[in-house]
Homo-oligomer: A and B are copies of this chain.
């Protein structure tokens, strides 16, 4: 299904509009490191399905607006053509656009802020990418996380931007033991963990996302599913909240860590598989830790656990003897 070659490619080269569409679809795909417009298209379908099913169509609209605004901003800033063409300036915008209507009330101020924030995510992307390329790692979704945190925190101080669904600020409390999860619940939780990468809690969307990955990379689809399943098992075994597990909220970061470590940045192999499993497990604890650390501030972790864990697991690269040291070509900003 090499949609990126052949007919689509020549169509995008013949039409400025289709080229723009292609860049945006690749931007959607880059949320999970896939430089593939078909992957991005199926991601958008999955987002639409999930948003429609939960009665929050505005989340899907926000995602598309954020994606397009970020891409336009990147073009206006005259960024380098190669990463632009690969969708690397859209993936933070789509996430910003999905997150703000999820956590804020939808009014005119929110839409102005969403547009400004999506454009700002491009600046934040350039800033963070410039810093972290010093160590040959990419910005991951850190620009999305930082930009969104900034506007969600600000909403507490701005009466014109009221929240809607932010966690209530409070001090950490020890967790009481909950009831268990059966196998069915665990499978549902694993699928929702994949869908939560785009802030959607819907098993069908999770299946669509697996399909979207599979059309570009079978390994990526397997890694995503494995990362989500590992998260469910580790969170369950250590006594995390069953409701939170069932909503897929322990899975979305390990999904991304697993895809990043196992398929994009390192060439696959038994040692890399073991290392990626370690990274996914580490991400589960990072998710729990950041959930607690952010509780006094009343903001969600977003994909910060993924960013933290993946940076930690990718930075040692040069120190490992047996792991191949080349950066994969899966769509991350290349070091110079």
Contacts and interface: CB of A to CB of B under 8 A. Distances in A.
A163 B311 CA distance: 28
B238 A109 contact: yes
Contacts of A116: 281-282
A296 B170 CA distance: 9
B296 A159 contact: no
Contacts of A78: 320-322
Nearest to A159: B239
A151 B71 CA distance: 39
A153 interface: yes
| Copies of the protein in its oligomer | 3
A298 B172 contact: yes
A126 B202 CA distance: 38
A3 interface: no
Given A123-B313, A154-B288, A296-B296, 6 more contacts: A126-B319, A127-B316, A131-B315, A154-B286, A154-B289, A296-B297
Interface of A: 77-80, 109, 113, 116, 119-120, 123-124, 126-131, 134-135, 149-154, 156-163, 169-178, 235, 237-241, 278, 281-282, 285-286, 288-293, 296-298, 311-316, 318-322
